[in-house]
Structure 1
Amino acid sequence: MSQPSGSAVSFGPATPAEAIPRTGFPAPPEPVAAQRVLPLRRPGRWILTAVVLVLVAQIAHGLVTNPFYQWDRFRYWFLRPAVLDGLLITLEVALYSALLGLLGGILLALARLSPSPVLRAVSWVYTWLFRSVPLIVVLLFLYNFSALYQTLSLGVPFGPAFLTFDESRLATDMAVAVVGLSLNEAAYASEVVRGGLLSVDQGQHEAASALGLPKRYRFVRIVFPQALRSIVPNYVNQLIGLIKSTSLVFYVSLLDLFGSVQSMGSTYPGDIVPLLLVATTWYLILTSVVSVVQFHVERYYSRGALRTLPPTPLQKARSGLRDLRARVRRETAT
Structure 2
Amino acid sequence: MSSESPIQAIRLRHPWRNVFAVVLIAGAALFVVDAAGRPAYDWPAVAQYVFDRRITQAAVNTLQLTVYSMIIAIVLGVILAIMRLSPNPVVKSVAWFYLWVFRGTPVYVQLVFWGLLSIIYQSIDIGIPFMEPFYSFQTNAALNTFTLAIIGLALNEAAYMAEIVRAGLLSVDRGQEEAATALGMGWFQTMRRVIVPQSMRIIIPPTGNEVISMLKTTSLVTAVPYSFDLYTRSRDISAETFNPIPMLIVASLWYLFFTSILMVGQHFLERRFARGVGDRRPDKKGSAPTGTGAVPQVTGTHPTVVAPTPTTNPPSGPGREGPG
Task: Say which SS state the counterpart of residue 90 (structure 1) adopts.
Answer: helix
- Aligned pair count reads 287
* Aligned 8 A contact 1:106 1:193 in 2: yes
Q: Which has the larger radius of gyration?
A: 1
Which of 36, 42, 49 is the aligned partner of 1:64?
36
Which of 82, 89, 110 is the aligned partner of 2:61?
89
> Which has a greater percent of helix?
1
- Please identify, of 100-109 and 110-119, the stretch whose mean Cα deviation from structure 2 is larger: 110-119
Which of 189, 192, 197 is the aligned partner of 1:225?
197
* Aligned 8 A contact 2:149 2:226 in 1: no
Which of 42, 55, 68 is the aligned partner of 2:27?
55
Deviation, 1:31, is 6.9
CA distance in 1, matches of 2:15, 2:114: 59
Normalising to structure 1: TM-score of the pair? Answer: 0.80
Deviation, 1:36, is 6.4
CA distance in 1, matches of 2:280, 2:77: 32
CA distance in 1, matches of 2:119, 2:238: 31
CA distance in 1, matches of 2:142, 2:3: 87
Which of 78, 82, 98 is the aligned partner of 1:110?
82
Deviation, 1:166, is 1.7
* Aligned 8 A contact 2:123 2:138 in 1: yes
Kindly tell me: are residues 38 and 129 of structure 1, through their superposed partners in 2, closer, same or farther at Cα, counting changes over 3 Å? same
Deviation, 1:310, is 5.3
Q: Which runs of 5+ in 2 are unaligned?
A: 286-297, 303-324
Aligned: 1:175 with 2:147: yes
Deviation, 1:298, is 0.3
Matching residue's letter, 1:245: T
Give the structure 1 partner of residue 167 of structure 2.
195
Say which structure, 1 or 2, has more relative contact order (CA 8 Å, 6+ apart).
2
CA distance in 2, matches of 1:63, 1:186: 40
Q: Which runs of 5+ in 1 are unaligned?
A: 1-27, 316-326
Give the structure 2 partner of residue 274 of structure 1.
246
Matching residue's letter, 1:60: V
Kindly tell me: are residues 161 and 57 of structure 1, through their superposed partners in 2, closer, same or farther at Cα, counting changes over 3 Å? same
Deviation, 1:53, is 1.9
Which of 120, 126, 131 is the aligned partner of 1:148?
120
Task: Say which SS state the counterpart of residue 134 (structure 2) adopts.
Answer: strand
CA distance in 2, matches of 1:30, 1:151: 88
CA distance in 1, matches of 2:282, 2:269: 12
Task: Say which SS state the counterpart of residue 165 (structure 1) adopts.
Answer: strand
Which of 267, 270, 293 is the aligned partner of 2:265?
293
Task: Say which SS state the counterpart of residue 161 (structure 1) adopts.
Answer: coil
Deviation, 1:307, is 5.3
Give the structure 1 partner of residue 309 of structure 2.
none
* Aligned 8 A contact 1:200 1:227 in 2: yes
Which of 211, 218, 227 is the aligned partner of 1:239?
211
| Segments ≥4 residues shifted beyond 3 Å | 28-32, 35-38, 307-312
Task: Say which SS state the counterpart of residue 101 (structure 1) adopts.
Answer: helix
Kindly tell me: are residues 29 and 226 of structure 1, through their superposed partners in 2, closer, same or farther at Cα, counting changes over 3 Å? closer
Deviation, 1:55, is 2.1
- Please identify, of 92-101 and 53-62, the stretch whose mean Cα deviation from structure 2 is larger: 53-62
Kindly tell me: are residues 57 and 214 of structure 1, through their superposed partners in 2, closer, same or farther at Cα, counting changes over 3 Å? same
